[in-house]
Amino acid sequence: MVVACAGAADSATLLALVEAANQTGGHVICIVPTHEDLNGSKYVVGRTASNEVEFMVGEAEILLLNQYAAADFVLIDCKLKNHEEILKAVQVGGRKQNGTLVVGYNAFVCKGSRWSSSSSCGSRTQLLPIGEGLFVTRFGSSTVHTPKHGINKIKSRWIVKVDKCTGEEHVFRVRFPQGKVIQA
């Protein structure tokens, strides 16, 4: 899971991603633009959670293209000036066949965003009126073409649950084990 922040990371967001990563066996990478934002992010999440998050300082677009091309969940702050370029980096970064889920938060802040135009590029995009607005975009499918074996179906699916009390929407990926399942 990769989160690209416009400033210091929000503690609630990072803690939620850390918990999701603990449950799915993944890990969290937080990309911030400056060293001041890095120090602020580590301070707000506390000592315990900062040990479970890999913090990076740099351009999210470049890091997503080069180092984190295998990420299957990317969270982007739409307050970033280049949030659309970051989305394009996710799209062309070789993940289209991995079923990457991209969520953009603070979507209402950027009035001129053209994220919805990305739906013509093989993705499904929805704007949700949650908080300051969420864009939810999915690239690719769960079908992978390999020259050796033809088409293989990756055993996974996305689950969406809505908390009845708060109205919060929780999205997570469930992967099924490969091969036969032996029940005792």
Instruction: With respect to residue 177, please indicate whether it lies within any of the assigned structural domains.
Output: no
Instruction: With respect to residue 8, please indicate whether it lies within any of the assigned structural domains.
Output: yes
Render each residue's pLDDT in the chain as its tens digit; 184 residues.
Answer: 899 998 888 888 888 898 888 888 888 999 999 999 988 888 888 877 778 889 999 998 888 888 888 888 889 998 888 888 888 877 776 554 557 888 888 888 765 555 544 443 445 677 778 888 888 888 766 544 444 444 455 567 778 888 899 988 888 888 766 555 555 5
Contacts of 12 (CB under 8 A, 6+ apart): none
Instruction: With respect to residue 169, please indicate whether it lies within any of the assigned structural domains.
Output: no
* Range of the structural domain that residue 69 is part of: 2-142
**Residue 30: exposure state from Cβ atoms within 10 A (0-12, 13-18, ≥19):** buried
Q: CATH no. for residue 41?
A: 3.40.50.150
Instruction: With respect to residue 110, please indicate whether it lies within any of the assigned structural domains.
Output: yes
The DSSP secondary structure of 14-35, one letter per residue, reads HHHHHHHHHHHT--EEEEESSH
The single-letter code of the amino acid at 148 is: K
Closest CA to 45 of 58, 32, 33: 32
The answer to whether the beta carbons of residues 126 and 103 sit under 8 Å apart is no
- Whole-prediction pTM: 0.69
DSSP 72: S
Distance of alpha carbon 18 from alpha carbon 46, whole angstroms: 12
The DSSP secondary structure of 30-63, one letter per residue, reads EEESSHHHHHHHHHHHHHHHHTSEEEEES-HHHH
- Looking at the DSSP assignment, which residues form a beta bridge with residue 143? 153
Instruction: With respect to residue 42, please indicate whether it lies within any of the assigned structural domains.
Output: yes
The answer to whether the beta carbons of residues 18 and 28 sit under 8 Å apart is yes
Closest CA to 58 of 34, 79, 92: 34
Instruction: With respect to residue 162, please indicate whether it lies within any of the assigned structural domains.
Output: no
Distance of alpha carbon 136 from alpha carbon 76, whole angstroms: 10
Domain count, the chain: 1
Instruction: With respect to residue 176, please indicate whether it lies within any of the assigned structural domains.
Output: no
Instruction: With respect to residue 158, please indicate whether it lies within any of the assigned structural domains.
Output: no
Distance of alpha carbon 46 from alpha carbon 9, whole angstroms: 12
